[in-house]
């Protein structure tokens, strides 16, 4: 499931601020489905159902870029002049692309159907892309991509890291959570009864939080204190779609 709104769990030192005051991060005409900080511009990349926005720090505006009107789901930094993005919604153009910050052009790197996310694991220097139809791909250079055999024919919906701990959630015809304590060299499957998780994130102490979406008797916020192996309910709530943490 793609990100629709953001639900932030934030642990803050109490400061003399008004937490009820919110300001627009970008024009309210932008339909944001994901925000990727530290990528592309000083304010990151805003992903939308038909492209993406990057901030122009000189002119203080958001510039819109698109590849055939296809959705951009996530972006990571590639090098000083390029970012990597995953694009597609079931078209023949679905895949992993570079976007050049100087020429402002998209170029395909690898075709894959319905990519859901792109992640970069800094300690191992490895990129990962999860697909709706096609499992999990990895690359150490961002250009040459190979399948991770364990995830063949699995739907990889979201992925998170904490040091050498990897967690991947599968949703689709079946729902499972997979975890690894050795940077993805070996994988384990969470025991029966694991919640359906469509978005997740680690806090700074290594506690993993995940969203059970939509409207059901199980919808709400869940947590895992052993890197995805077991899960506990935090609270029930309908229609939460994303979870994140401040630094």
pLDDT, tens digit (0-9, with 9 covering 90-100), for 40-78: 999 999 999 999 999 998 899 999 999 999 999 999 999
Tell me, yes or no, if the pTM score tops 0.95: no
Place of tokens 């993805």: 184
20 versus 213: the higher-pLDDT residue is 213
Instruction: Tell me what the mean pLDDT of segment 147-174 comes to.
Output: 91
Confidence of residue 139 (pLDDT cuts 50, 70, 90): very high
DSSP 126-195: EEEEEESSS-EEEESSSSS-EE-GGGTT--EEEEEEETTEEEEEE-SSS-EEEEESSTTSS-EEPPTTPP
Instruction: Tell me what the mean pLDDT of segment 141-166 comes to.
Output: 95
| 123: pLDDT strictly greater than 80 | yes
Two structure tokens written together for 159: 């992925």
Instruction: Tell me what the mean pLDDT of segment 201-214 comes to.
Output: 93
Burial class (CB in 10 A: 0-12, 13-18, 19+), 126: middle
Confidence of residue 12 (pLDDT cuts 50, 70, 90): very low
DSSP E strands in 9-114: the ranges are 34-36, 45-48, 51-56, 61-65, 72-77, 82-87, 95-100, 106-111
Share the mean pLDDT of the chain.
Answer: 89
pLDDT, tens digit (0-9, with 9 covering 90-100), for 96-115: 999 999 999 999 999 999 99
Instruction: Tell me what the mean pLDDT of segment 74-88 comes to.
Output: 97
Percent of the chain surpassing pLDDT 70: 91
Distance CA 1, CA 18 (A): 33
Instruction: Tell me what the mean pLDDT of segment 24-44 comes to.
Output: 91
Contact 201, 244 (CB under 8 A): yes
């Amino acid at each position: 499931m793609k990100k629709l709104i953001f639900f932030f769990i934030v642990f803050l030192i109490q400061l003399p601020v008004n937490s009820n005051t919110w300001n627009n991060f970008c024009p309210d005409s932008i339909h944001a489905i994901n925000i990727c900080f530290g990528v592309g511009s000083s304010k990151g990349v805003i992903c939308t159902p038909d492209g993406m926005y990057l901030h122009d720090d000189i002119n203080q505006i958001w510039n819109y870029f698109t590849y055939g009107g296809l959705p951009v789901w996530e972006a990571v930094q590639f090098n000083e002049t390029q970012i990597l993005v995953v694009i597609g919604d079931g078209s023949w153009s679905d895949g992993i692309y570079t976007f050049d910050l100087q020429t402002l052009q998209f170029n395909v790197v690898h075709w894959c159907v319905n990519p859901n996310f792109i992640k970069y694991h800094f300690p191992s220097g490895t990129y990962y892309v999860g697909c709706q139809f096609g499992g999990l791909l990895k690359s150490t250079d961002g250009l040459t991509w190979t399948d991770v055999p364990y995830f063949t024919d699995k739907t990889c919906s979201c992925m998170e890291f904490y040091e050498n701990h990897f967690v991947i959630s599968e949703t689709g015809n079946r729902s499972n959570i997979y975890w690894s304590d050795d940077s993805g060299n070996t994988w384990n499957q969470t025991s029966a009864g694991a919640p359906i998780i469509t978005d997740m994130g680690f806090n700074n102490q290594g506690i993993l939080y995940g969203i059970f979406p939509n409207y059901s008797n199980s919808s709400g916020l869940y947590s895992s204190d052993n890197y995805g192996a077991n899960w506990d309910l935090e609270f029930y709530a309908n229609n939460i779609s994303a979870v994140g943490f401040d630094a």
